Amino acid sequence: MLALFNCNRFTNRADYGRIRGMNKKKIIIGILIVAWICVIWGHSMQPAVVSEGESGKFLAILSKVLPFLAENENGMFIVRKAAHFTEYLILGVLLCMEFSTYLRGIWERFLNPLFSGLFVCFIDETIQLFVEGRSGEIRDMWIDFAGVALGTLIVLAIINNKKGRRY
């Protein structure tokens, strides 16, 4: 027990900043992933009236920059689907950052975040089946999956670009 409070436990300078063999970056990204999944599933648990009100606020803000959204009868639909895509794009970025620290092959770095994101969106749409006024839709799963895929590809492109540089 006293060893936990021993300030001299890091004998090697490379161990400084690590928590029992784990990099702080990995822990922070893991916490961000869990928090972001809670945000996604929290949105899914909102009744349709609350969700539409939230989307309406975003539509009002976006229509100032993109006036065609307010003029178009499908403006709310576009905002809602763009929100799905954006939520999962961010999840794809976070998942890829996490998996890239553990996995080495390009396919593993691509497929693991992709299928983890698919699992999250499957649960997301299943949650909506039990919420008043909401429905789980396959179309939304495809949009979510595309968001995860793009987020993953963006991170992999950045990682591979950095590794390809020679200084």
Report the percent of the chain where pLDDT is more than 70: 84
| pLDDT for 8 | 47
Task: Report how far apart, in Å, the C-alpha atoms of 10 and of each of 3, 16, 24, 27, 127 are.
Answer: 11, 6, 15, 19, 46
Half-sphere exposure for 2 (CA within 13 Å, toward CB) = 0
Residue 105 backbone dihedrals phi, psi, to 5 degrees: -75, 150
Higher pLDDT, 5 or 99: 99
Scanning the structure block, which residue is given the tokens 């970025």? 93
Distance CA 155, CA 167 (A): 21
Predicted model pTM = 0.80
Per-residue pLDDT tens over the stretch 103-156: 788 888 899 999 999 999 999 999 999 999 888 899 999 999 999 999 999 999
Q: Which of 109, 164, 166, 117 is nearest to 141 (CA)?
A: 117
pLDDT of residue 115: 95
Average pLDDT over residues 34-42: 96
The phi, psi pair for 132, rounded to 5°, reads -60, 125
- Section 39-59 average pLDDT: 89
User: What value does the mean pLDDT of the chain take?
Assistant: 84
